[in-house]
Amino acid sequence: MISAHRFMVIAAMLALILVAGCADVERVVYVTRILPNGVTIIAKENRGSDMVSAHLWVRDGALYESADEAGTAALLRSVMVSAERNPVLEKKRQEFADNGGVVMASPSHDFVYYVTTCLAGHFEEAAELLYMGTTNTVFSDEDVESARQGLLISLAKYGSSPREQAYLACMKSMMGEHPYARLSYGSADVITGLTTEDLRERHSSMYVGRNMIISVVGNVDAMRAADVIESLFGDVPEGELAEPAADGVVWCGEGSDEVLHGEGFSPYIIVGFPAPGGSDEDVAAMDLLLMLLGRGRASRLERGLILDEQLAVSVSAGWGTKRQPNPIMAWVDVGDHDVDKAREATVEAFLSLADEPIDEDDVARARIAMLTEVAEARCMMAERASYEAYYAIVSGTSFIDEYMARIEELTAEDLERVAKKYFRRDSYSVAIALQ
């Protein structure tokens, strides 16, 4: 049980996080608008910064690709941001950069996203760049070939490390042929064979209103920001809502080990257990379990592998909330310690959460850690814009408010139930990279 004094301290800290975590949190004006063509606009006004960040997130990526299409979304994204394909667009980008603006884009499993961040006075330029850069399909075979070579180089670099290969081996052991077990950049063989027409067809089916979410956060009038976005993206074809290539996840892990060998690195262990998808009711509880597992010196992994037993050089845990279920994982740099003991201790750190009672004090600490992360993200313009669009993609626009309420309500009993559901002795996978 939590003592009265401890409860009062925790309550005070939570109040500070939620109310004072961001200078202007109580003055934020929030606008959500769904256009007739299906484009979703989220605009949040925050006068605590001189910046504004505008993001376009498209339902495209590995989750929406069959194995024969793996990499189409990533190559299309590379072509869309190519500097050579459109002189007018490139001139605008250069002017935007000269005024301190930043443009970036990246593929992921659940989406492809395009980001602009700038001083508030240049918001309309940022919005126009988002529109021009993602709706203009005037590109040539030369543009596609240039983007292809760049993507193949990135793909080769990513897959060259035994540690990265171990990660992929762990994912495949757990998820089989599910798209999440593939690199978000796709397959080199597929990318090599894609044509310009393949990419145009992909764009016409995926870059449509029903697949687009645009979020704007910063020092800009929220209604005006939504109006600007609507004036640009209101003419995007409605299209069809993209459906995942996989119906769901069938977990394959059975406590099995994959061992890979390489040179020039210390032994490395990756352990994965099943975890829920973004719209599952267990998401908030799994986030708190992640805090207990791998955040801070009091975490199960830090205590079990470094502070108490000295079995590793470093250890961390992570779980990327995705639309469909995705593993929660631990990464362990063993150094010159005993690999077998480190493996056993890592697995036991997960299982202990299912086998042993969870203290309410630990739940309170995990809650503070989680709410602090959320508050920090919501105070940074680019992070906040990502936050809003990301959860709208994987879980729906109402998710974040429901999530925060759920974090507040969770008890030790709730966490024990979720831990027993997912952290089982017959459902995990281990990959070990050895010299």
CATH of the domain at 129: 3.30.830.10
Tell me: pLDDT of 398 over 70: no
Give the pLDDT band (50/70/90) at residue 378. low
pLDDT value at position 355? 95
Task: Examine the domain organization and report whether 194 and 298 are in the same domain.
Answer: no
Q: How far does Cα 182 stand from its chain's mean position?
A: 15
CB-count exposure of residue 169 (10 Å: 0-12, 13-18, 19+)? buried
pLDDT in tens, 1-49: 333 333 333 333 333 333 334 444 445 588 889 999 999 999 988 887 7
Task: Examine the domain organization and report whether 207 and 268 are in the same domain.
Answer: no
CB-count exposure of residue 27 (10 Å: 0-12, 13-18, 19+)? exposed
Q: Which domain holds residue 370?
A: 256-434
pLDDT value at position 19? 37
Q: Which residue has the higher pLDDT, 163 or 194?
A: 194
Task: Examine the domain organization and report whether 224 and 308 are in the same domain.
Answer: no
pLDDT value at position 237? 97
pLDDT value at position 152? 94
Tell me: pLDDT of 385 over 80: no
Average pLDDT over residues 399-405: 75
pLDDT value at position 249? 87
Q: Which residue has the higher pLDDT, 361 or 17?
A: 361
Average pLDDT over residues 177-198: 94
Give the pLDDT band (50/70/90) at residue 415. very high
Query: Would you say residue 18 lies in a domain?
Result: no
Average pLDDT over residues 143-150: 92
Rg (CA), the chain: 23
Q: Which residue has the higher pLDDT, 395 or 258?
A: 258
pLDDT in tens, 75-99: 999 998 775 667 778 888 889 999 9
pTM of the model: 0.85
State the total domains in the chain. 2
> Dihedral through CA 296, CA 297, CA 300, CA 305, nearest 10?
120
pLDDT value at position 45? 86
Task: Examine the domain organization and report whether 229 and 312 are in the same domain.
Answer: no
Q: What is the share, in percent, of the chain residues with pLDDT greater than 70? A: 85
pLDDT in tens, 46-70: 887 788 999 999 999 999 999 999 9
Task: Examine the domain organization and report whether 294 and 229 are in the same domain.
Answer: no
Tell me: pLDDT of 221 over 50: yes
pLDDT value at position 126? 95
Average pLDDT over residues 258-264: 73
State the residue for tokens 């919005």. Answer: 127
What is the H or E stretch that residue 13 is in? Answer: helix 4-20
Q: What is the share, in percent, of the chain residues with pLDDT greater than 90? A: 55
Give the pLDDT band (50/70/90) at residue 384. low
Nearest-CA neighbor of 292 among 247, 228, 234, 357? Answer: 357
pLDDT value at position 31? 87
Q: Which residue has the higher pLDDT, 315 or 156?
A: 315
Instruction: Write down the number of H helices and E strands in the chain.
Output: 16, 11
pLDDT value at position 373? 76
Q: To the nearest whole number, what is the mean pLDDT of the chain? A: 85
159: tokens are 């897959």
Q: How far does Cα 133 stand from its chain's mean position?
A: 23
Residues in the chain, overall count = 435
Give the pLDDT band (50/70/90) at residue 391. low
Q: Which of 197, 218, 233 is the last residue of a domain?
A: 233
Task: Examine the domain organization and report whether 281 and 207 are in the same domain.
Answer: no
What gap in Å lies between CA 235 and CA 419, rounded to an integer? 47
Task: Examine the domain organization and report whether 170 and 118 are in the same domain.
Answer: yes
In 161-258, alpha helices (H) = 162-175, 188-193, 196-206, 222-233
Residues in Cβ contact with 429 at an 8 Å cutoff, skipping those fewer than 6 apart: 170, 173, 174, 252, 253, 254, 255, 256, 257, 258, 271, 272, 327
Average pLDDT over residues 220-234: 96
Average pLDDT over residues 356-375: 87
Nearest-CA neighbor of 392 among 212, 207, 219? Answer: 212
> How many of the other CB atoms lie within 10 Å of CB of 340?
12
Give the pLDDT band (50/70/90) at residue 396. low
Query: Would you say residue 17 lies in a domain?
Result: no
Task: Examine the domain organization and report whether 302 and 171 are in the same domain.
Answer: no
Task: Examine the domain organization and report whether 69 and 123 are in the same domain.
Answer: yes
Query: Would you say residue 397 lies in a domain?
Result: yes
Task: Examine the domain organization and report whether 198 and 262 are in the same domain.
Answer: no
Contact, 155 vs 186, CB < 8 A? yes
